[in-house]
Amino acid sequence: MLAPEFTFEVVLYGLLTLGVFLGLGFYYDRRDRAFYHADRRKISFHCIRCDHLYTRKAGTETAPCPKCGHVNTRLKF
């Protein structure tokens, strides 16, 4: 008896499956990295009235102090 030859189909199926898993891994890695960097980026502020240090998310140049409410500009190093 001769065994049916389907090695091409098996290799093609394996490569397609591997491609799908690699594509999903790449997509979710980029998505999670973008969420992580957006959450991690913070700007530091120093209140000149009550001497309190605090942070806010990136994208703002001024922010009110959580203790006294005085609006401060961001720290620049």
User: How is the chain classified by DSSP, letter by letter?
Assistant: -PPP--HHHHHHHHHHHHHHHHHHHHHHHHHHHHHHHHHH-EEEEE-TTT--EEEEESS-SEEE-TTT--EEEBP--
Q: What is the pLDDT of residues 15-39, one digit of tens each?
A: 999 999 999 999 999 998 888 876 7
Q: Answer whether 0.75 is exceeded by the pTM.
A: no
Q: Is 71 inside any structural domain?
A: yes
48 and 72: one domain? yes
Domain count, the chain: 2
Q: Is 52 inside any structural domain?
A: yes
28 and 52: one domain? no
Instruction: Check: CB of residue 70 under 8 Å from CB of residue 47.
Output: yes
Q: What is the pLDDT of residues 33-73, one digit of tens each?
A: 888 876 778 889 999 999 999 988 877 889 999 999 999 99
48 and 76: one domain? yes
The structure tokens listed for 6 are: 């389907």
The structure tokens listed for 54 are: 């605090």
Which residues constitute the domain of residue 68?
42-77
Average pLDDT value for residue range 71-76: 88
**Structure confidence at residue 70 (pLDDT):** 92
**Structure confidence at residue 19 (pLDDT):** 97
